[in-house]
Amino acid sequence: MNKIPVETFDTPELAVAKLAAETAELIRSNDAAGKPTVLGLATGATPIRYYQELIRLHKEEGLSFQNVITFNLDEYAGLPREHKESYWFFMHHNLFDHIDIKPENINLPSGTVSDAEIPAHCEEYEQAIIDAGGIDQQILGIGRTGHIGFNEPGSPKDSLTRAITLDEITREDAAPAFDGIDNVPTAAITMGCGTILAAKRIVLMAWGEGKASIVQKAVQGPVNDIVSASYLQEHDNAVFYIDQPASTEL
């Protein structure tokens, strides 16, 4: 039995069209009410098509991001912004450089704070989300370890933004982009499960048969820290948008 609502689409393109339309509607209704819209964003292969659709809506349908504030889930420890695998670089290349968002409204954890500065940096990140009014819409992918953000197995449900050691499976998955596992960072700063669960709406996307097994565990399995995404079962406004191949074990 599915313990999280799941919408299965014939293609990822159909799923992201629906999700981007929801985002546009949220932005436009907040604009009309004179309120900013706070988006929680993810990196990785999964949301790229969604970002392409947001860019299209901006360029072809006049969707403005002037009143949008963004918070990304995570950043690799040790990578400066200009590193081609940093999530700062990813987000600018895949979204921010193509829309009218104000640079001061873009927030990502820093990959280059010193170890001693990390706790204060993480507290400031949490406070910035609260000061912005909380996240209206959080988008997520899911890792093979069941992670959301980089909340690897063992992450408590109430965890907040913090440094985390990356699971070896996660590092293996990142190895091709880094030209070998030895170049993959061993740690990251990630929003916690509690940070994510505080979002008003959460949409997790998953494409392809490689995600079918972990989607099944997240949606139908027990809620525990072995699969962080299973915590989404306890959120009252979380949904999975997946394609047919990712749905085959449900």
- Answer for which of 43, 70, 86, 155 binds ligand F6R (CB under 6 A) is 43
Q: Is 32 helix (H, G, I), strand (E, B) or coil?
A: helix
E-strand ranges in 92-200 read 106-107, 137-140, 162-165, 187-190
111 binds ligand F6R (CB under 6 A): no
Closest approach of Cβ 29 to ligand F6R, in Å?
A: 26
E-strand ranges in 32-102 read 37-41, 68-72, 74-76
Of 44-73, binders to ligand F6R (CB under 6 A) are 44-46, 73
CA–CA separation, 136 and 127 (whole Å): 15
Asked if 78 and 178 count as a contact pair (C-beta separation under 8 A), the reply is no
Phi/psi region, residue 243 (left: phi>0; alpha: psi -120 to 50; beta: rest), is beta
Looking at the Cβ atoms of 71 and 150, the one nearer to ligand F6R is 150
- Answer for which of 147, 203, 215, 242 binds ligand F6R (CB under 6 A) is 147
What is the β-pairing status of strands 37-41 and 68-72?
Answer: parallel
238 binds ligand F6R (CB under 6 A): no
| C-alpha distance from residue 6 to each of 21, 26, 206, 215, 224 (Å) | 18, 21, 11, 10, 19
Instruction: Record the tokens describing residue 203, joined without a space.
Output: 């949409």
- Answer for which of 141, 146, 185, 192 binds ligand F6R (CB under 6 A) is 141
Count of residues that bind ligand F6R according to CB under 6 A: 14
Residues labelled catalytic: 152
37 binds ligand F6R (CB under 6 A): no
Looking at the Cβ atoms of 31 and 212, the one nearer to ligand F6R is 212
192 binds ligand F6R (CB under 6 A): no
Part of the chain binding ligand F6R (CB under 6 A), chosen from 21-29, 56-64, 137-145, 152-160: 137-145
150 binds ligand F6R (CB under 6 A): yes
Closest approach of Cβ 76 to ligand F6R, in Å?
A: 10
241 binds ligand F6R (CB under 6 A): no
CA–CA separation, 88 and 82 (whole Å): 8
Closest approach of Cβ 198 to ligand F6R, in Å?
A: 16
Residue whose C-alpha is closest to residue 198's, from 71, 27, 76: 71
Part of the chain binding ligand F6R (CB under 6 A), chosen from 13-21, 57-65, 109-117, 145-153: 145-153
Would you tell me which residues interact with ligand F6R (CB under 6 A)? 42-46, 73-74, 141-143, 147-150
